[in-house]
Amino acid sequence: MKLLKKCKYWPLLMIMPCLVITCMTIEDIIHPENAQVNSDIEITVKIKIDAETDGNSKLAFGVLAPKSWDIAHNATLTLTTTALFAANVVTNESMTVISATETNPTDAQPWPASFQSKFGVLGNTGPVEWVVFESNTTFQIHDQRSEQDVVNGTVNIRIHTGSRAVKLFMGYTFCGKQFGFNSEKYPDSPVVSAKVLEVTGGTDPIWDYTVEPQLSHVPATFSFEDIFSIKYNEPNSMTTGSLKGGNAYLLGKAKYNVNGGAPTEKTIDETSGKTLMDELGDMGQVTSWQKYIYPKDFFDLPDDAVIEEIQVYFSNQDKSIVIVDNETNDNFIIEPTCP
């Protein structure tokens, strides 16, 4: 299965006629069919480098995974390669996490930040992070030497999963550590690919990072002095502990001060018309509810109150079902995006 292939054909050069093919390819990604929580899983990523120029470099290999897995400390990567040039052949070579003090030569950012800036989170809506590993071997690549122009590689990844079921887009990318995204060495677009991985098991509802986040806002930019909506998105795959089929209510508390005085807390926990949310219905992968609020009115605060923090949760009418942040198993923290 060809997941990603970037190739470019350069024109014949008048001084030194030749046809150079630029290819850096993720050939295949193999995920386990029955990944379970609290277990070791095996992932295989097959890569290929067709030399476009000469240059010696270690391999920098990035993996995008849930932050909660802490794969910098809970993953083992090994690299096996095949090539005509003996020095480019390795077998089960351990790959190590690139030091936090080292930077991508392309943008001078630490490697994880550089990959995050370049590729983002590949469609994930939950907390994920890039972790970047390097080979021990410096590969000797030369497009004018037939025995050094192609390296096929297999990266074997062993990861210990977390205690919570999760579905996400795992991400993979690679480049020469010496060159980063250097356009002369790699004239084509950087190689990156994503594939869905679902880890099942456990007693808690699944974290689904492939759909809308649990909590969102309209507008996306707001302060506590604005009117904005708090929107709850529930995966349609969720059956146990679901609010679907009934009313949903917005409950919570606000911490505030007046004239810089001691913080005071105000709680709203009634299921009434005041807290009833508008059902937006089935949005495809999720069912959504939202409620527009002006925080001071919603929490019955004085006009001169300065809100320091808002926490919310959702419930049905009799509070037999309560929805909290599935990352923290506590109230959602509303974080304003402008002062």
Give pLDDT tens digits for 260-282: 999 999 999 999 999 999 999 99
178: confidence class by pLDDT, cuts 50, 70, 90: confident
Would you tell me how many other CB atoms lie within 10 Å of the CB of residue 9? 8
- The C-alpha atoms of residue 317 and residue 277 are separated, in whole angstroms, by 11
Tokens linked to 129:
């992070």
Would you tell me how many other CB atoms lie within 10 Å of the CB of residue 153? 23
- The C-alpha atoms of residue 221 and residue 108 are separated, in whole angstroms, by 30
Q: Above 70 in pLDDT, residue 20?
A: no
17: confidence class by pLDDT, cuts 50, 70, 90: very low
- The C-alpha atoms of residue 140 and residue 149 are separated, in whole angstroms, by 9
What value does the mean pLDDT take over residues 147-170? 90
Tokens linked to 61:
């290999």
Residue 327 has a pLDDT of 75
As beta bridge partners, residue 99 has none
The residue written with tokens 């020469």 in the block is 176
Where is pLDDT greater, at 175 or 19? 175
What does residue 174 show for φ and ψ, rounded to 5 degrees?
A: -155, 160
Which domains are assigned to the chain?
4-207 (2.60.40), 211-334 (2.60.40)
Q: Above 90 in pLDDT, residue 99?
A: yes
What does residue 67 show for φ and ψ, rounded to 5 degrees?
A: -60, -35
What value does the mean pLDDT take over residues 103-127? 92
Q: How much of the chain is helix, strand and coil, in % rounded to 5?
A: 10, 45, 45
Q: Which of 303, 300, 321 is nearest to 234 (CA)?
A: 321
- The C-alpha atoms of residue 54 and residue 51 are separated, in whole angstroms, by 7
Residue 18 has a pLDDT of 31
Residue 181: in which H helix or E strand, if any?
none
- The C-alpha atoms of residue 297 and residue 229 are separated, in whole angstroms, by 14
Residue 188 has a pLDDT of 56
Tokens linked to 147:
């025995």
Q: Which of 234, 321, 326 is nearest to 282 (CA)?
A: 234
Left if phi > 0, otherwise alpha if psi is -120 to 50, otherwise beta: which for 155? beta
What does residue 93 show for φ and ψ, rounded to 5 degrees?
A: -75, 130
Mean per-residue pLDDT of the chain: 87
Residue 213 has a pLDDT of 84
Note the pLDDT tens digit of each residue in 46-76: 998 876 555 688 999 999 999 999 999 999 9
Q: Could you give the count of Cα atoms lying within 13 Å of 106 in the half-sphere of its Cβ?
A: 19
8 A C-beta contact, residue 149 and residue 142: yes
